[in-house]
Amino acid sequence: LGPLHGVPFTVKDCINTAGVRTTGGSLIFKDYVPERNATVVERLTAAGGVMMAKTNLPEFALWWETGNRVFGQTNNPWNLDRTPGGSSGGEAAAIFSGMSPIGIGSDVGGSIREPANYCGIVGLKATHGRIPLTGHWPEVLLRYMHVGPLTKTVRDAALVLPILSGADGKDPYALHFPDPIIDLKRSLQDIRIAVCPEGYFSPIANDVKSTVVQAAKALEELGCRVELNSLDKWDDCSGLSISDAIYSAEGKYWLTPIVKDKEEFLAPTIKRRLSAPQPSMKDYQKAVIDCEVLRQNVAHLFSIYDILLCPTGPVVAHPHGSSRLDVDGKEIVPRSALAATVPFDLTGSPAVTVPFGLSNDGLPVGVQLVGRHLDEGTVLCVAAALEQVRDKEFESTMRSKIGI
C-alpha cells in the first residue's frame, strides 16, 4: 500500500487533472478538460491518494483574494465576511473546514502561505525546483513559481513533501536534488534563528508582531539561539517593488495574446492588471538587478542563521474586496499583504506558515519560517515544535476554562 492509500486530496483549479475540468478560474477555459495529470497529481495518486475535488481560485491564480466568474466567491471559514486570501484560497478554506486533509496549491507571491495564514492551517512552499511545476497554468514566471501542500498539521506537510519531490524530466527548473531529510523530533538545541517581527516587512499589526515575538520566546525556551534582526540591509530591495515590475511586465506579455478578443470574459481584476501601465525597460532591468541583490542578501543571512522567523502577513484575514488594509490605523494597499511572502518566491527559499495565535478579534495569526535552500527538514522541524507549543497552550487554556 502507498503512504497515502485511500487518503482523499484536493487540487487547486489551475493544476491539470486528467478527465476533470480545469478552468483556471476563467470563463475562457470553463470547459477545458486536460488529457494528462499534472506531475503533483500523478504522484499523489501513485502514492494511493484519491482526488476528490478541485478548489477555487482567482482568475489565472493572479490575485490576493479568491473568487471568479465561473464559481463565484470563496469565504473564510472563520468568518464568512472575510477573505480566505489568494490565490490558493479555495484550498485553505477546504482544509480548515474539514473538506479535505491534503490540498495542493501554488505560490508566486504568497499564494500558499497567505491563505494558510488567513485560514489557520499549514502552508509549505519548498525550495524552488524541489517540486515539479509540470501541469500548472499559467506557464509564466516559472522561475519564481512554486507548487506545494496545504495541510492541517506540519506532520501531514512533512508526509506529502517527499512524495511530491524530485525531477520529472519535463520541468526544466526541477532538478535531481537529494530527497528531503525530515525528522520532526530532532533536537532544536543551538539552531540559530533570526527574528524579524517587523523591520523590513513593516508595517505589521501589533497582534501579528506579538505573535512572532511569542513564537521566538518559545523557540528560545526549546534551546534555539534566537537573535533579533531588522533586516535593514535589505531595505533597498523591496520584494513588492521587484515583483511588481517583473511580474507585471512578463505576465502581461505572456497573457495578452491568450486573452486577445476574449476580454469580455475576463474578471475585473485581470482586466485591471492587463490595462495597467507597463514598467519601463529601465525599471524592469533595475528590478532584475535588485532581485539578484536580494538573493545575495538572503544567502548571506543563511550563512549565519538556520531559520528566519517573521510574519506571514501584516494583518489577519480582511473583509472581502477591501480597497485598503488597516494596520493599526495605517492604511496600506491590499497587495502589501504579500510584503513578507513575495521576497522568498523571488529567492526560491523554502518557507512555511504555521498558525500560532489569535488576533484581538479571534482570527488566526500565523508565523512564517524561512530556511536555506534544500533545508526543508529544519524548517519543518522548527514548525512542528511551534505547533506542539501552541497545542499545549491551547489544551492548558481549555482545561482552565472548564475547571480541570
Active site (catalytic) residues: 12, 87, 111
Strand-pair category, 225-228 with 325-327: unpaired
Sequence letter at residue 292 = E
277: which DSSP letter? Answer: P
β-sheet bridge partners, residue 354? 367
Q: How far apart are CA 176 and CA 395, in angstroms?
A: 42
The helix (H) or strand (E) run that includes residue 163 is: helix 154-164
β-sheet bridge partners, residue 351? 125, 370
| Nearest in space to 123 (alpha carbons), one of 146, 95, 88, 151 | 151
Q: How far apart are CA 113 and CA 186, in angstroms?
A: 24
Q: Which three cell numbers stand for residue 37?
A: 495529470
Residue 125's contacts (CB-CB under 8 Å, 6 or more residues apart) are 107, 112, 113, 146, 148, 344, 345, 350, 351, 352
Q: How far is CA 84 from CA 76, 101, 138, 303, in A?
A: 4, 17, 21, 35
* Cis check: omega of the bond before 111, within 30 degrees of 0: no
Q: Are 157 and 121 in contact (CB under 8 A)?
A: no
Residue 303's contacts (CB-CB under 8 Å, 6 or more residues apart) are none
At 212, give phi and psi (nearest 5°): -65, -45
